[in-house]
Structure 1
């Protein structure tokens, strides 16, 4: 990592087949659960934006955005019906089936590093397979989202994650373009800021 950047969270996403995927995450220099939750949400947001940029105009980009939008829309409908219910959904497995890490042949492997600067800003670096990255990148995002929904310690953080992703999609529709390099940082920042405002509004109701 660069001189002024520190990797604070890392995800490894391993494929054992086209659909079976395991995710493993680690955090640097903290055992605080709230801080780990925060980093995990940021990691998902930045990985989503970086993946959309990487696959650009390939056929997988729009279906992935629609899939993520469906996660948000489903949460929104459930929240209206039962706002006090914990939200830890099992996502549709059309993209990826999350499995435990296993001692088996890995067919494809992705890595995502969330980096923090001395100023407290975040960025992401990734390592992706050389062969067929456009095919496997969308499932890797879905697997990371499902892993995060399963492993966030605070139920409020699962809502924050889904709100962040929904706000990012709003950014892509109204203000930005997922094929632009600038959106790799702008979209997550917009999403996190929007989710923070929405969550604050809900807490004041």
Structure 2
């Protein structure tokens, strides 16, 4: 069940939402950016993921059918060209997995740090834990798999990579990502008016902490 336009497919997802299936992360970010800038009538929340976008709506203001039609007529935006909010995060590159990542990639430890620091990142979606943002833009040379055995505890502020993503652990938790370093910059704080620092679409730049 659902409708499509050759680019993406829209299907009902419960009484108050539709799920949009797209080709990939760039399309998700592009559609999310377009809808965030100019939402169709009745839209109350956008929840991006790796290849889907959940669109929640008020059933008193629109319907599955009307919203699907609105979405299929929408265009995406070039996220890279948007002057969105940028967050700069200082990192101490002292992670437990630095040497292992260097060995896996054939790079030196210094090269791993430089390539990670020079990346231009965008928060694509959040998952796993509140405030855990999956950041796209990681240098392909640093695409390494998760650890075979996850750690039972990764400290809050750990800066890590896995697959095509990099992330900052918002709180202490189990985790299998490769640790490159840590930051004291809180990416999740319930005391802030906006607890999640790295909301989808936020641009992120890592910089080496001054010693």
TM over 0.5: no
Q: Select the structure of larger CA radius of gyration.
A: 2
TM-score band w.r.t. shorter chain:
under 0.3
Q: What TM-score does the superposition give when structure 1 sets the normalisation length?
A: 0.25
Q: What TM-score does the superposition give when structure 2 sets the normalisation length?
A: 0.24
Structure number with higher relative contact order (C-alpha < 8 Å, ≥ 6 residues apart): 1
Higher helix share: 1
